[in-house]
Structure 1
Amino acid sequence: MKINKLLIVFSVLLLQSCTSQSKKINGISFVASREAVNQSHIKPVVNLNANYAAVMPFGFIKNLNHPDIVFNTNRQWFGETKEGAKQYIEELYKSNIKVMLKPQIWVWHGEFTGYIEMKNKTDWSVLETSYSKFILEYAQLAQEMKVDIFCIGTELEKFIENRPNYWKKLIVKVKKIYKGKLTYAANWNEFRRTPFWNDLDYIGVDAYFPVSHSKTPTFNECLKGWKTHVQTISEISNKNKKPILFTEFGYRSVDYSGKEPWKSDRSMYQVNFEAQTNTTKALFETFWKEDWFAGGFIWKWFHNHSKSGGDNNSQFTPQNKPVEALIRKQYHLK
């Protein structure tokens, strides 16, 4: 009898272990807005079967060579500030949505953050001081709110390439404040060179990999397009013994959506829902079954669901488009 009881206990524990390992992060990137949110804004996230949301406050710099980061000012939208991020997290928690806090930098005129690079040592020192103040303040919020994941930066390749020792020291400082899981959101063509994955819990990738050159990429084309990329991604995971987390993923509902998925160019305006659906389906099919893959955050989700996306929208959001049903189905799977 004792042996049978032990076998039963062991089987239950094994089942629980397997279930916990297979549970993916089915996330959305919750866009900061001008206003506070309430449960009417969170309900569509729940209806999508999402279990995580990335909350994204912002800091701003004037240009790619400017070292001062401005943040938490009354000139920012509410959701871009510390107060707003806290309020968003509180509302998400009410619906049992877990959170990745992902403070980001915005360069005026929308220039790519990966190109932020100072011209001299003095400016690098100023930038480091400014960025530390920015990220450590949000690390304190992450700890206060007990968020599950904290992202220490997004697409900052030149900053990391030029100042790797600073980033190593920053991670140590973050860990003294925040006791949860850590990641960094590397761009799709950056993550292979990121030097500090061993110091974090997830290898974060903004997954805008090119997978098809077709105007309307087919599901099978995209599956084929992923083959080389997925091999590299899995190798980086195995090398560092860390799971892969897509800190951002998604496609625009536009012609050639799989060719250069990172583009938000407004000159691309031909709405193509089939392209968005096929590319997204292929990404799910390629990654969500893999043990070394933790999950990801769809880019991007606006708080006012009824007025977001829709028939004439060629941008990234899946809201009120055919791909939303695909995501809901995928996120429902256990």
Structure 2
Amino acid sequence: MRSRLPLLAIFPVTVLTIVLGSPFILGNHPVRWESGSALPKIVIGDEKESSTPSGHTGDTATASSPSGSPSSATDALQVAKPWKKGMAQWGVQLYWEEEKTKRSDTFIENQARKHAKYLIGLGANSVSVSFPFYIQSSTSDTLSAGAKTPSPERLRRVLKVFQDAGFRTTVRPILDEGTLKQNNGWRGDIEPASRSAWFASYKKFLTPYLQAAEDAKADTFVIGTELNSLESDPGWDTLVPYAEKSFSGEVSYDANWDNYVTGRINMPVNHLGVDGYFPVKVADTAPVSDLVAGWNNWLDKKATGPLSKILVSETGIGAMNGAYHAPGDFYARRAVNPRVQANWYKAVCQVVQDRKMQGVYWWSLWFDDDPNTKPDDKVASRLDFAGRPLTEAAIKSCFTSDYAGPGTATTS
């Protein structure tokens, strides 16, 4: 990702310790980071290619970016096949840290258009706008917008650009972890001293953003992301109905991959996303089929067969050696290996289609960046995919595939 953020079926305790312990140590709780039930309100519960050697260090001419540059694929700012109910959501997480003192409204709107054009070139039909809110410590009772939190009015402007271009839009506030770093903290471990006060503060923060999402006719509002420690709190039983009354689109929750496969996601929502950073213990040269098998092994711990209620709300991986073992390690800066990233994208797309899932959102595009430029690997995150031809080709192949989407099936 182009991020400056700290990102990232019940088993015996011994097995979970062995299987899950190593990925946690390596940092698989990304930023942001089952199957469903037919009930109106759900408690989501038990439900060959060759690669270049690991020494490959650059994008080669063997796979050029789609149409030279994705944004050059079309001059019209209009999605080719706008999303409709039942179709797959082919999207990207657009991460937005506001620069209020530097960026005009005109800049913001033009930047949104630049990203829209790039995504249209990739064949995307969906975009999720993620942005930060803040907490002082893991035990704080209050949270708030910060200097880098976009205002509701500016959010409306950006959403309108994407809506006008025909994108399916999602609004996704996400708890920033900057103040938790000193204690190696993660958003999924917060323990507010007073949970009732925390939920009251969260409701106050969300209210104008729910209204902005409603005004902009957004499709989804993500009520929470990777808040493992709070998932079963009764505070949601009040907050979710409040959100549904304020916002006419779908209200969803995005679970972290660990809680999804090992526990019961006790959230009173009708729609569930999974932030998928499943570690797969294979070599950098492993074929795509091995990565597909690795993902399926994890998903099968929850439920086998189709997962038509589940959306891969976020996933990504670094274009570097060793990334398969800890895809949620957003800070490592090992030797660049674009094929590792591209093959991961191919594998995830295949899993989404084989398991008849709702779609996938790649992490991420950084709002202030130009997606048409090649990342500077001396300073850029290895998770950047924009400007990496192999990965862009994999995304376009995925987004323009024949997969029609989960339809209205009710199978889990």
TM-score normalised per structure 1: 0.82
1:255 alignment counterpart: 321
Q: CA deviation at 1:298?
A: 0.5
Report deviation, 1:24.
0.6
Give the secondary-structure state (helix, strand or coil) at the position aligned to 1:58: strand
| 383, 387, 393: which one aligns with 1:316 | 383
What corresponds to 1:134 in structure 2?
A: 205
**Would you say 1:186 and 2:255 are equivalent positions?**
yes
Q: 1:210 aligns to what?
A: 279
Matched residue, 1:295: 359
Separation (CA, whole Å) in 2 of partners of 1:85 and 1:236: 38
Q: Which amino acid aligns with 1:273?
A: P
Matches of 2:173 and 2:85, distance apart in 1: 27
Alpha-carbon shift at residue 53 of structure 1 (Å): 0.5
Tell me which of 320, 337, 351 is aligned to 1:272.
337
- 1:23 aligned onto 2:87: yes
Cα distance, 1:289–1:37 mapped onto 2, change above 3 Å = farther
Offset of 1:41 from its aligned partner?
A: 3.4
1:7 aligned residue: none
The match for 2:186 among 87, 112, 115 is 112
Give the aligned partner of residue 310 of structure 2.
244
5+ residue gaps in structure 2?
Answer: 1-82, 403-412
Q: Which whole-Å CA distance do the structure 1 matches of 2:213 and 2:395 have between them?
A: 27
Q: 1:117 to 1:236 in 2, by over 3 A?
A: farther
Kept in 1: contact 2:331–2:381 (CA 8 A):
no
Is the 1:62–1:107 contact (alpha carbons within 8 Å) kept by the matching residues of 2? no
1:201-235 Cα offsets, whole Å, 9 max, x none, are 32210011112342444313212212322323545
CA contact (8 A) 2:168 2:219 kept: yes
Local SS of the residue matching 1:30 = strand
Asked if the contact 1:57/1:81 (under 8 Å) is kept, the reply is: no
2:138 matches 1:64: yes
1:151 aligns with 2:242: no
Q: Secondary structure at the match of 2:109?
A: coil
- The 3-state SS of whatever aligns with 1:258 is helix
- Identify which of 243, 268, 281 aligns with 2:346: 281
Q: What's 2:165 paired with?
A: 95
- Of all paired residues, the percent bearing the same amino acid is 22
Counterpart contact for 1:150–1:180, Cα < 8 Å = yes
CA drift at 1:264: 0.9
Q: Would you say the 8 A contact 1:301–1:319 is kept in 2?
A: yes
Alignment RMSD, CA only? 2.4
Separation in 2 of the partners of 1:282 and 1:61?
36
Kept after mapping to 2: 8 A contact 1:271/1:314: no
Paired letter, 2:322:
Y
Q: How far 1:315 sits from its partner (Å)? A: 2.1
Give the Cα separation in 2 of the matches to 1:233 and 1:76: 37
Task: Please report how far the alpha carbon of residue 311 of structure 1 lies from its aligned counterpart in structure 2 after TM superposition.
Answer: 5.9
Which structure is higher in RCO with an 8 Å CA cutoff and minimum separation 6?
2
Whole-Å separation in 2 of the counterparts to 1:184 and 1:236: 22
For 2:329, what is the secondary structure of its paired residue? coil
Deviation, 1:155, is 0.6
**Alignment match of 1:160 (pick from 231, 236, 250):** 231
* TM-superposition CA deviations, 1:2-57 (whole Å, max 9, x none): xxxxxxxxxxxxxxxxx967621001001214341322332111111111110123
Q: Distance in 2 between matches of 1:310 and 1:285?
A: 29
C-alpha separation between the residues in 2 aligned to 1:63 and 1:216? 42
SS at match of 1:232: coil
Partners of 1:269 and 1:213 in 2: how far apart? 17
User: Which 5+ residue runs of structure 1 have no aligned equivalent?
Assistant: 1-18
The letter of the residue matching 2:252 is: T
Contact conserved, 1:301 with 1:317, CA < 8 A, in 2? yes
Whether the 8 Å contact between 2:226 and 2:255 is mirrored in structure 1 is: yes
Instruction: Tell me the alpha carbon deviations over residues 235-267 of structure 1, each in whole angstroms, 9 at most, x when there is no partner.
Output: 5987xxx6101110121112222111111124x
- Structure 2 CA distance for aligned equivalents of residues 189 and 105 of structure 1: 18
Partner of 1:221: 290
Q: Deviations over 1:175-219 (max 9, x none)?
A: 1111211211110011242112xx423221001111234244431
User: Quick check: 1:76 aligned with 2:140?
Assistant: no
Aligned mates of 2:86, 2:241 — CA distance in 1: 30
Cα distance in 1 for residues equivalent to 2:148 and 2:316: 26
